[in-house]
Amino acid sequence: MVKANGNILFVVNPISGGNDKSELIGYLKEFALSNNLTYSVFYTTELKGLENLKLAINNVKPEIIAAVGGDGTCNLVANAIINSKTAMAIIPLGSANGLATALDIPKDYEEALDLLVSGRIKLIDTILINDKICLHISDIGLNARVIKRFEEEKIRGFYGYAKQFFKELWEARPSRFIFVLENGKTIKKKAHVVAIANASKYGTGALINPNGKMDDGKFEIVIVKPYPFFALFSIMAAIFLGYADKVKYVEINSYRKIKIMKKKTQPLHIDGEIMEESTVVEVVINPASLRVIVP
């Protein structure tokens, strides 16, 4: 993929997934030397993260930027290179690694690094949600509340997410939504979850959007409608086994643009990061806007 003497910028999130990155940093140097590559490392921070990353990119002028972390790290990198010729590689070391899972990036960091020399470039769509970039899947409702709890309690990793998921599941109540389509038509729905999906599956492997493609110029709105408690486990099984679109409590439709309105504010997450709550969520596709390295 990258040519000999190529230039790579590794963007490392030091706290993603609760993983110690010291062994990885040593391996990055070894990998670069063995493949005759020039490399630099940029560590993410909450303060002026995007601004500082853009400065680093301008100084280093890399051919490829490797996001070393989770979905939040990928989103940061994408914000810096969207609609450009620079490609993003992914070294998945986050809590869920949803984008990496959707793109079939190996979870082993050595195998993921090998894609820098053996992979290919894929041009994918991105989504703008209230003018913020979404690469993977965003949610309003139950899953967003789970992620908010997950962040507040600071318990990292899959165990922390699972703990908050089952707490929220027990308390879940549906909410009312109004969907305004591109042609002006309005649709009213009650839902537990409204997912805005560019990809087909979460980092857990759950196929919330079985027929979703990241390069088709569309996104999907996945609605989990009110359901009787006895149907919960059949819905979860359908999502994990890949036939959510066949379940009567799940509705999936494709769009290029949509507005979602609610009477009360609710948590919204974009690629696993909780956003400012709002009663209006405007969604539009940005087709073929990001280059990523895939197997």
Among 95, 78, 93, 77, residue whose Cα is nearest residue 11: 77
Judge whether residue 2 has pLDDT over 80. Answer: no
- Per-residue pLDDT, averaged over 152-178, amounts to 66
- Looking at residue 196, its pLDDT comes to 96
Q: Which tokens sit at 101? A: 């899972």
Do 150 and 217 lie in one domain? The reply is yes
Q: Looking at the structure, tell me whether residues 96 and 163 fall in a common domain.
A: no
223 has pLDDT over 90: yes
Together in a domain, 71 and 142: no
Same domain, 96 and 142: no
Answer with the one of 95, 118, 141 that is the final residue of a domain.
Answer: 118
How sure is the predictor about 232, in pLDDT bands with cuts at 50, 70 and 90?
A: confident
Is 163's pLDDT higher than 70?
no
Burial class of residue 4, CB neighbours in 10 A (0-12, 13-18, 19+)? exposed
Q: Which of 88, 118, 148 is the last residue of a domain?
A: 118
Least confident piece of the model among 132-136, 144-148, 197-201: 144-148
Helix 142-153, helix 157-171: angle, nearest 10? 130
Q: What is the rounded average pLDDT of the residues 248-272?
A: 90
For 168-206, write each residue's pLDDT tens digit.
665 667 889 999 999 999 999 999 889 999 999 887 788
Q: Are residues 165 and 260 in the same domain?
A: yes
- Asked if residue 254 belongs to a domain, the reply is yes
Q: Does residue 250 sit in the same domain as residue 162?
A: yes
Statement: residue 289 has pLDDT above 80: yes
- Claim to verify: residue 159 and residue 271 sit in the same structural domain: yes
Question: Which is higher by pLDDT, 167 or 195?
Answer: 195
Count of domains for the chain: 2
pLDDT category of residue 10 using cuts at 50, 70 and 90: very high
Instruction: Using the structure block, give the residue that is written with the tokens 């390295």.
Output: 293
Residue 294 maps to a domain: no
Q: Coil, helix or strand for 176?
A: strand
Residues 174, 110 within the same domain: no
Co-location of 153 and 113 in the same domain: no
51, 83, 118 - which closes a domain: 118
CATH (domain of 66)? 3.40.50.10330
Range of the domain at 112: 7-118
Same domain, 74 and 160: no
Q: Are residues 169 and 265 in the same domain?
A: yes
d(CA 257, CA 283): 6
Burial of 14 (0-12, 13-18, 19+ CB in 10 A): middle
Both 159 and 217 in one domain: the answer is: yes
Query: Is residue 246 domain-resident?
Result: yes
Dihedral sign of CA atoms 154, 160, 165, 167 in order: negative
In a domain, 1, yes or no: no
CATH number at residue 171: 2.60.200.40
